[in-house]
Structure 1
């Protein structure tokens, strides 16, 4: 279980607020439970049809984008039918994204829903410092707060007995459409922040001292039967045994105006069984709603039960959570140096219900609304854009906010008053602007994450966000390579980010530079405001940002990396990794830190350790595998989660890039220590890695369609760490990329064809290979002696009357070896006195004879000869030495050093192309 700490990311501070409102996101696990729907075990035979509001709708009010994994076409159709119902009930200007997974789950579980992150203090947030599901947050903000992520992740049990039709007649099966409708409901906001830890119950985030607390939107509406709000820490300490008692009391309610109205004016009972039900308690309606039109969001569903409408109570709850609201779109007025004419406040209002006429008002004050509150009616000509003027005021600071009232008798304020907007009073939030001479410098934020560049880069994009209380006049970048003369280039306005902050960018023309490995790019960013003082600022405050230059080597089709080689470290860009040999390891390898760090100390509460191979790989059609040995002792995810889930904690992953590192895509999904029981045991025991733990891993580089044969790619190894628990880390060794793993067939029928006193000739049947056989390795007495390309071999210079054994192996172009052939054993023939003394003794001169240190051999041939072989044998026929020599002018003349030989009789044998000559000599 993760430590109960809150980790959030501040994305932007809006200028012009009385309080520093911040757009933040969190992945804190207490705020992101996986909510589960169970089988009830009952045959229900209930059908609640979709209300006419869905059937009569001509167009969807929202767009859902679903990514399916493992679904059949029939299951997709049922899923889409549920999506269509929600899309015609709830309105959102931002597409709602769902990661839908069809997978094996525990028996009795039908599905589970979770969100990868939550947001607070975004534009139009009803409650201040309150966490909202992405679906509601995006809707209220009017833009996607996390465009790269899913809004919800939903799993469905592939082993359940599903009814895949959409007609509401599941019979004795479980209606998939109903379950999809239910799980999407959790992703739309039906989710409490309640949790249990031992004997205590808690709500939302709470620090170790019980002082810092924050909640999800659902929590604000949770009360007990005595009317006590569960998040009121004056009543219930958070966490505490008292809170757990409340959770297990069968006496918890959702209390909000529209939900209560839908329930006949009575507060809505939630599911709070006397035994805590992880994943279900509090985040469902009470069982008393079973069999009614409000049954969809109860904690279980029976066979024969078709619930095709959320029900009025759920819709009332959603309305008060933020699905019925007024969205304001307004740019805060900036400061002004000279105020001579009225300032116009403009705002676009998008209301889900009608507004009362003349209810949109501008409030402004010169004393922060302590005693002064001026109210001006905002007028409109199109029912959307409203305007009002603030007259010239002899005061240096003016505060203002906007108010609207719907025909549901609900007040809405912008900025949010932090009370859920179910209020009639101003709280503590407003915009403000200052008039007078400006001395405030611009604020700049470097938006670049380049930790390195490659020497082949021609254009480098540099961007920065900048804002100013008056406005930005200009921005420029100062840059240089190494200690060369600095150059300057203007940054131009590019766009506004999702928070409305201006982004400026340019491309550095690095094609004008001669980048080399080891160079450094230095730069700083300047901004000048549009005030009369032309206030300026630059970042960093001291020195420069530094980007090292690394070399990209020539592309190859395959490579093998042995980290014991001296240059192994030079072919990787290492960010957090090292090439090292820790204790308990026999050789060097690629290592993350041991242990690696927690992510909370870094941007977005995460840290990435990266090792990029600087040798590009040309992907092949056939051998597109990467294999390596690894030890993976990184924190495992919660049981049952898969890569991409909110509770799939730390992971390692192998990725590729087709654009020299600008973007990266995975070859396969990320993984953790759970790939091996040995790795998991080491993590659980806080153990260290050691040499004996290496396991081999093979990945097909083309398997998921992100890359194609012919692509030239870079490859990187990445370890991702989130906040809290960590492990020993990751080690990688013996990397082979696109090395053909298919070995040639075994050479067959090895046999001898000719045997002499000094030679043995071999022959065998050829091998085959998926690519081509490059040759054959010949082993004599288990020792590799030669490599040939043909299927024959002649062993020479052997001793006579000696036994030898042989086998051969086939090899291909990538050095894959076949199994060894059959072994043959052969014995060279003996040398007799007849064949030693038989041929042409008188034609060769040997002198002096007897000899002591040197002996001379001369032979003159009548016929043309090119090569002669000279051998010396002992009297018993043992070969002492031999040489081969080219013959010039048909004459063979050689002097041989015999000083190392013992005294006695010896034979000299001269082998020519057409004859063999022998002679005896004596060493004295």
Structure 2
């Protein structure tokens, strides 16, 4: 047989083919980068009337040839909708499309200089009727060309308008007040972009590039763009390249197509993303009938006609000829002739003398034959003569419309750095030895509750199919063959048949194969599978259980499904449920949707309490559009846990589905590696997060519910997928919650300790006790008489007067639930320490740098410690501090100085360094409000700790150092370089007076939700010579800061307080330099040489002789 070979670009890769048509694989992509329309600042009174087509349509002399449907989201007023509808009418009068165009419209807050934005939501390539191959078309245009809905019920165009713009909504008044923008004009403009008036040329660094969203594949708008010298950018300039960047910013680009008269495009020397190339040139077209699609719209401009932009859109395909033709099949007839027939549907008529059949015997030289009418409307035919030998023939059909545009079937392949290449249909003549091709995806299983199996297969053959049957058996008992039915003869190759079973049982086995025979003289046969049979196990449900748990580290047959398995991928520590990595896109599946399902065979009987599903998971699936929620059209891919009460016939989400946006770490990982539209990022164990679902949200007590995990995949984008581990369904491993307002000390005059506690658990409290010990002796316990439904209990430890100061009582509370889970107070399971104290004689001052052991303070959840990243000791709360576990689910964690202080009239100051990393309050929330959340506070008591008053309002992270806020946001640990000084006047708010004898405490308040690292307190000075600090602070001048050279200047005015030590440290506390300055009545100057240090942040600390300390941050830039 004589063959010729053609070459075609597919995704811009050179691929040899024997059938060039098959090279053009259909493609689709979601589009997310909108164009924008900017507001001009100066008024420009201008009115361009609607086109003649609209006037005829409005006057009822012309039938509407398209339908645009709009979803108006929140914010649109009735007058805004009326203006929008007026603009729709103009586009509907121009467009001819059999498929409705769906628009999703938003009334949003945009940048002040932006009036609106728009983009087509999807783009498609290599679909039937496309004139340019390996080129994307906006979805609405692709649907017009194919005559088919490609996008389901999803929107085709996304538009948004600035709700802060000064709009005029009157569509018919030809003049506007000064400063007002015509909404009709901007709506027309944005819909124009959505219809296809938007390109993909962009700038990345020093290079220019073309290709929709990094694919390298252009959009149809890009194809005719050329420079002043008529050099087509795609054919002449490499992408990416510096030369292409120069062209994109040359201010001299044009759109060259059949009827658009080479209009100049907006290509400014400074590239503007979303604006450059995708608009007409502002200078050329402003104040002309074609001004609508310029990059800016000014106040008082009313432009109600697309002008030349409509011709450009028509040349892209909005005015076209659809050539309907069924490709010739191969034939064993070598003599010919071979009749080629086509019908034509034209928006603007066809020139019948241009209807040509163009055929080739060698793939290079073509012979053109005029096609003649068949007698049927718009149908033409011609024949290719035979040669009498077995060989290949190639052909295409061409025609011109009445505007002079050429249309071909198949289309032309657009190639980078090469001319366009005409694609061709190919058929072969001669003896046929090729069996049919069968494409079929078998189901992974069949439920015992199912009574039928619907089979679908794509069966093709170069000659044609004579027969297609299903041979099958049930439990190895052969059943009668079933004939597969071709669904749309001469339109597709989809065959279907439903096998009816009656009843099936768990463990039954269905075996089947598909047998196809072609129309050749040899009756070539193909089977699927090639050998043997597809095996379909019938799966039934196991007996119902009250609970289920699985860590998947042992073999298990408890699940069945498709697209999931229990495996241990590289990088994971053990086995878990994993979807396919990556999971498949929905392209090519029924309705372009794919559902991967993993179902638990064991139904669960829903409990009245603790009806939870708990599991660890990683979700790296395509995120929906920002702001969308489960159920929205643009929610894209998602995962969901579902339940069924009828054995799997109908399903209900246990909770709303979710995607990678459900956790910031997932979203960051998903977006960290994007190729085309897909994420190539890979999951790892660090991404596991725990999810808890409640079956009681959707089901009732005693319902028997089947559980399944489902991953939904739509077309054009996918990611790594979903993994599920440590599954627990109605497993009660949650310990009881024990609440208590703990006691920090006992006065040596007190005889009893009253302990009040609350204990609760979903399964009920079985036992509750107090365990205690004295001076670390033997542990004793006291049991409460648990009496449901009571939850609060009280016990009094008496006879404590025998304890003297220095003795320590310790206690904890232990609760056990009905399944023997234990809960404690404190939650750590440690003991609360209650020292017996005597406040002693009041002092005038107190100072402590906490670098030596001290018994001056009492309290739990605080200690004097030196955590990692700190250079010496300080008071530290627990890191991280517990959420509130007091009786009202809040807690006060206190550290109290046991030495009373007599407040001085002359120097009533408390000074200390601190780090505060606790949950912050909202804007405008005052201290004392329930919404103030966590805080720290310094308080005093004048009556031996019976009642407390504040020295100042409580405070939190708000207003603190940026490093504190960063540590809270990231959950990281602070370091020694983050201390900040605080000075408190004990008499400032009037709660205390000079002469008062006060006990001082530091208290951290926590509610039950979000916690933080906590509080650190160092270098505490109470009524010490703290005024020297103020003197030291006000007399310091450190410059320059930032340090731009290598020398840091330190000046001190009138240093009369004594020797001062200057320390230079890293922010982590590492000592770098130390110098001492002697006292002087003159200005003291000193320079630190920083030349040996790298750029970064450093700490300068000035230490006075009496403990005064001032800390400054400096930045070194080089």
TM over 0.5, shorter chain: yes
Which gives a bigger RCO, structure 1 or 2 (Cα 8 Å, sep 6+)? Answer: 1
The SS at the match of 2:639 is strand
Aligned to 2:40: 40
Match of 1:528 among 514, 517, 522: 517
Rounded to whole Å, the distance in 2 between the matches of 1:291 and 1:712 is 68
Aligned to 2:1009: none
Deviation at 1:473, TM superposition (A): 1.4
Match of 2:291 among 288, 291, 295: 295
Deviation at 1:297, TM superposition (A): 1.7
1:224 pairs with 2:227: yes
1:37·1:109 contact (CA, 8 Å) conserved in 2?
A: yes
Deviation at 1:164, TM superposition (A): 5.0
Residue correspondence of structure 1 range 306-385 to structure 2 within 5 A:
306-311=302-307, 313-338=308-333, 344-363=339-358, 370=365, 372-382=367-377, 384-385=378-379
Rounded to whole Å, the distance in 2 between the matches of 1:104 and 1:615 is 50
Change (3 A) 1:567 1:229: closer
Rounded to whole Å, the distance in 2 between the matches of 1:723 and 1:132 is 14
The SS at the match of 2:487 is strand
Rounded to whole Å, the distance in 2 between the matches of 1:369 and 1:306 is 53
1:255 pairs with 2:256: yes
Rounded to whole Å, the distance in 1 between the matches of 2:340 and 2:495 is 26
The SS at the match of 2:145 is helix
1:629·1:735 contact (CA, 8 Å) conserved in 2?
A: yes
1:431 pairs with 2:417: no
Aligned to 1:56: 56
1:180 pairs with 2:173: no
- After the TM superposition, which of the residue ranges 386-395 and 132-141 deviates more from structure 2? 386-395
- After the TM superposition, which of the residue ranges 402-411 and 36-45 deviates more from structure 2? 36-45
Aligned to 1:87: 92
Structure 1 unmatched runs, 5+: 1-5, 261-266, 704-709, 747-764, 795-803, 812-818, 823-924
2:72·2:104 contact (CA, 8 Å) conserved in 1?
A: yes
Rounded to whole Å, the distance in 1 between the matches of 2:353 and 2:704 is 63
Rounded to whole Å, the distance in 1 between the matches of 2:271 and 2:610 is 51
1:475 pairs with 2:468: yes
The SS at the match of 2:558 is helix
Rounded to whole Å, the distance in 1 between the matches of 2:163 and 2:662 is 22
Deviation at 1:239, TM superposition (A): 0.9
Residue correspondence of structure 1 range 726-765 to structure 2 within 5 A:
none
Rounded to whole Å, the distance in 2 between the matches of 1:179 and 1:305 is 10
Deviation at 1:48, TM superposition (A): 3.2
Deviation at 1:629, TM superposition (A): 6.1
The SS at the match of 1:187 is helix
Rounded to whole Å, the distance in 2 between the matches of 1:219 and 1:334 is 35
1:406 pairs with 2:390: no
Change (3 A) 1:368 1:252: closer
Deviation at 1:199, TM superposition (A): 1.3
1:386 pairs with 2:380: yes
Deviation at 1:540, TM superposition (A): 2.7
Deviation at 1:71, TM superposition (A): 5.3
Q: Deviations over 1:791-816 (max 9, x none)?
A: 8999xxxxxxxxx99999999xxxxx
Rounded to whole Å, the distance in 2 between the matches of 1:645 and 1:152 is 19
Change (3 A) 1:441 1:306: same
1:130 pairs with 2:135: yes
TM-score w.r.t. the length of structure 2 is 0.55
Rounded to whole Å, the distance in 1 between the matches of 2:167 and 2:650 is 40
Aligned to 1:634: 620
Change (3 A) 1:527 1:101: farther
1:16·1:332 contact (CA, 8 Å) conserved in 2?
A: no
Change (3 A) 1:602 1:435: closer
1:69·1:100 contact (CA, 8 Å) conserved in 2?
A: yes
Aligned to 1:492: 484
The SS at the match of 1:27 is strand
Deviation at 1:150, TM superposition (A): 4.2
Rounded to whole Å, the distance in 2 between the matches of 1:375 and 1:489 is 48
Aligned to 2:74: 70
Residue correspondence of structure 1 range 598-747 to structure 2 within 5 A:
611-614=598-601, 632=618, 634=620, 652-654=638-640, 656=642, 668=656, 670-673=658-661, 675-676=663-664, 680=668, 694=689, 715-718=708-711
Aligned to 2:22: 20
1:474·1:527 contact (CA, 8 Å) conserved in 2?
A: yes
Q: CA RMSD in A?
A: 5.8
Rounded to whole Å, the distance in 2 between the matches of 1:623 and 1:56 is 68
Rounded to whole Å, the distance in 2 between the matches of 1:309 and 1:665 is 50
1:94·1:142 contact (CA, 8 Å) conserved in 2?
A: yes
2:487·2:493 contact (CA, 8 Å) conserved in 1?
A: yes
Aligned to 2:875: none
Change (3 A) 1:626 1:465: farther
Rounded to whole Å, the distance in 1 between the matches of 2:791 and 2:133 is 85
Deviation at 1:480, TM superposition (A): 4.4
The SS at the match of 2:26 is strand
Rounded to whole Å, the distance in 2 between the matches of 1:525 and 1:66 is 46
Rounded to whole Å, the distance in 2 between the matches of 1:152 and 1:187 is 5
Aligned to 1:816: none
Deviation at 1:545, TM superposition (A): 3.9
2:350·2:401 contact (CA, 8 Å) conserved in 1?
A: yes
Q: Deviations over 1:422-460 (max 9, x none)?
A: xxx9974443544444333212211x3633433322212
Aligned to 1:570: 558
Rounded to whole Å, the distance in 1 between the matches of 2:354 and 2:82 is 45
Deviation at 1:564, TM superposition (A): 8.2
Deviation at 1:202, TM superposition (A): 0.8
Deviation at 1:331, TM superposition (A): 1.3
Aligned to 1:457: 450
Change (3 A) 1:19 1:505: closer
Deviation at 1:618, TM superposition (A): 10
1:365·1:374 contact (CA, 8 Å) conserved in 2?
A: no
